[in-house]
Amino acid sequence: MTPKVRLHLDQPLVPGQPLQLDRDQSNYLFAVMRLEVGQSILAFNGRDGEWVATVAAASKRGGELFVQHQTRPVQLPPDLWLMFAPIKKARTDFIVEKATELGAARIMPVMTEYTNAERIRQDRLQAHAVEATEQCGGTFVPVVDDLQPLSRVLAGWQPGRQLLWCDEAMVGASRPLTDLPRGPWAVLIGPEGGFSAAEQARLRALPFVHALSLGPRILRADTAAVAALTLWQAALGDWG
């Protein structure tokens, strides 16, 4: 029977490898999930795939697992970044979780002229990405960057990467995504107040930017992120 509990462990995963659990991990496995010695979980570290690991020692303050065998190799997502302007805490958490589930390889909070949040807790958002990967059955954990200015990101743009700009001012039909090239991409979602006139002008002038309409209604930032990632995955990603 396949174990139902999945846990991210930032340790090497090879047959026979002992895995030491910290207090939080032990509390989750043995107090919350009530696992006992001899029972198994699915473990992954984002690099070595998914493995069955068996409980060798159990305590609420600590514990040990032993790696048994691999169930799946690591499944890398498409080379897709999500760039978004942070919003309210719960909705930013939602964006990180859903971007992880939808297969973003990198999550990049960016500061725009109208961004409301001036700071984020990068470590907390990274933890949300780990939890989302545990829940959705993924084997790769996207990196969540610290907050950085959009202008700086655009100035140092990686050659060969295309940018899908979700332009709320653009209503109606846009170029079908299936007409766009495959390869490295990023999706850009704006803040609640939209992009400034100067930011819009700069984006329209960049050769690697492709504007996308998300329909006749203006979507909330968290809704727009889910919609854009879904459209990209269906047209250019690993859903086909």
pLDDT at residue 18 above 90? yes
C-alpha to C-alpha distance for 11 and 13, rounded to whole angstroms: 6
pLDDT at residue 32 above 90? yes
Q: Residue 169: which region, alpha, beta or left (left: phi > 0; alpha: psi -120 to 50)?
A: alpha
- pLDDT score for 169: 79
pLDDT at residue 92 above 90? yes
> What ranges do the domains of the chain cover?
6-72, 80-236
Give the containing element (helix H, strand E) for 199: helix 197-205
C-alpha to C-alpha distance for 238 and 129, rounded to whole angstroms: 19
Query: Taking residues 221-234, what's their average pLDDT?
Result: 96
Backbone angles phi, psi at 212, to 5 degrees: -130, 135
Average pLDDT, the chain: 94
Overall fold of domain 6-72: Ribosomal Protein L25; Chain P (2.40.240)
Which pLDDT tens digit goes with each residue over 153-199?
999 999 999 999 999 877 766 778 888 999 999 999 999 889 999 99
pLDDT at residue 103 above 80? yes
- pLDDT score for 172: 67
Which pLDDT tens digit goes with each residue over 106-135?
999 999 999 987 789 999 999 999 999 999
- pLDDT score for 175: 74
User: What is the Cα 86 distance to its own chain's centre?
Assistant: 14
- The single residue listed with the structure tokens 């889910």 is 226
pLDDT at residue 82 above 70? yes
- pLDDT score for 61: 84
Which pLDDT tens digit goes with each residue over 49-80?
999 999 999 987 899 999 999 999 999 999 99
Smallest Cα–Cα separation from 34: which of 16, 13, 58, 10?
58
Predicted TM-score (pTM) of this structure: 0.92
Backbone angles phi, psi at 184, to 5 degrees: -65, 135
- pLDDT score for 173: 63
- Number of Cβ within a 10 Å radius of residue 2: 7
For residues 232 and 170, the model is more confident at 232
Strand order in the sheet with 50-59: 6-8, 40-44, 50-59, 62-72, 18-21
- CA-derived radius of gyration, the chain: 20
CATH class of the structural domain 80-236: alpha beta
- pLDDT score for 170: 79
